[in-house]
Amino acid sequence: MQNSLHSSFVKHGVLGLILLATAGVASAHRPWMLPTSTIVETKEAWVTIDGAVSEGLFDFDHMPLRMDGVTVTAPDGTTAAGPAAVTGKLRSSIDLPLPKEGTYRIALVSTNVMGSYKVGEDVKRFRGSEADFAKQLPAGAQDVRKTVTHQRIETFVTAHKTNDAALKPTNAGLEMVPLTHPNDLRANETMRVRFLLDGKPLPNLPFSLVPGGVRYRGVAGEIRLTTDAKGEASFKLPAANMYWMNAAYPPNPGKGPAPDNGPAESKRYAYTATLEALPE
């Protein structure tokens, strides 16, 4: 009950922080969803997915990821709202049954606005959903500026055998299309991906992968890559681990709302996935 009363307020606060976290390349706070297992082969298949915004990957060291808007795309390609999340102090969790054989895509997709406008001489700032921004904008507001950020945070889980129906792109925002099945990644085997922006291949896009367990290594071990002319990249992950994949478009947008002398409206996109590479 308390959750639902506060959810709208908290959601905006958390999403705002996530935006700050992902928009700036140098920021250490990363949002992610971490499945307990990426391939489940038990008779009654379930997976628990933890969500957090953290400094260390994949440590619960900062704050939970608000998982209210999670959607689950089933192996038959249908997308539905995910189960209710339990939100703790440092992480949130959902328990997800996997009744169908095949691959599930768990995604948290959001569109958020950072904006400012002038009422007379007063400059007002806004952070929240696009609909709320339109609603709150008073008549006669001037110098309206807004930055709309479309963000996708996702992960993939397979019950028994992989399939591809859930991997089809939605053609909205920044997306990674796995050309190698995301639940069949092995250390030292070639993985291929394609990045799309609103359904179109995105060439020369920098993206990176960071292996989990930074706290035990002391070094981030970030792998920096760039898509080719076709928006694709192929690479090998050096060791078995959970990897945090991240890309942003435009690649270096800077922080905070658009500058006062900038365009009235700008768009940003952020993509994050948790991928597991297993040993051979």
Partner 1 sequence: MKLSPSLALTLPLISGGAVAADLSVKFELPQLNVAEYHKPYVAMWIEKADGAVASTLAVLYDVKKKDNAGEKWVKDMRTWWRKAGRETTLPIDGVSGATRAAGTHTLSFGPAKTGIDKLPAGDYKLVIEAAREAGGRELVRVPFSLPAKGKVAATANGKEELGAVSINIQ
Binding residues for partner 1, rule: CB under 8 A, are: 41, 160-161, 184, 278-280
Shortest Å, Cβ 190 to partner 1: 12
CB nearer to partner 1: give 230 or 236. 236
Residue 71 structure tokens: 């959607």
Quickly count: other Cβ atoms within 10 Å of residue 174's Cβ. Answer: 22
What's the full length of the chain, in residues? 280
Shortest Å, Cβ 276 to partner 1: 13
Quickly count: other Cβ atoms within 10 Å of residue 240's Cβ. Answer: 16
Shortest Å, Cβ 41 to partner 1: 6
Shortest Å, Cβ 152 to partner 1: 28
Shortest Å, Cβ 18 to partner 1: 35
CB nearer to partner 1: give 59 or 184. 184
Shortest Å, Cβ 40 to partner 1: 11
Question: d(Cα 236, Cα 279) in Å, to the nearest integer?
Answer: 13
CB nearer to partner 1: give 143 or 164. 164
Shortest Å, Cβ 9 to partner 1: 46
CB nearer to partner 1: give 109 or 278. 278
Question: d(Cα 111, Cα 59) in Å, to the nearest integer?
Answer: 26
Rounded to the nearest 5°, which phi and psi values hold at 10? -65, -40
Quickly count: other Cβ atoms within 10 Å of residue 139's Cβ. Answer: 5
CB nearer to partner 1: give 102 or 128. 102
CB nearer to partner 1: give 184 or 232. 184
CB nearer to partner 1: give 41 or 76. 41
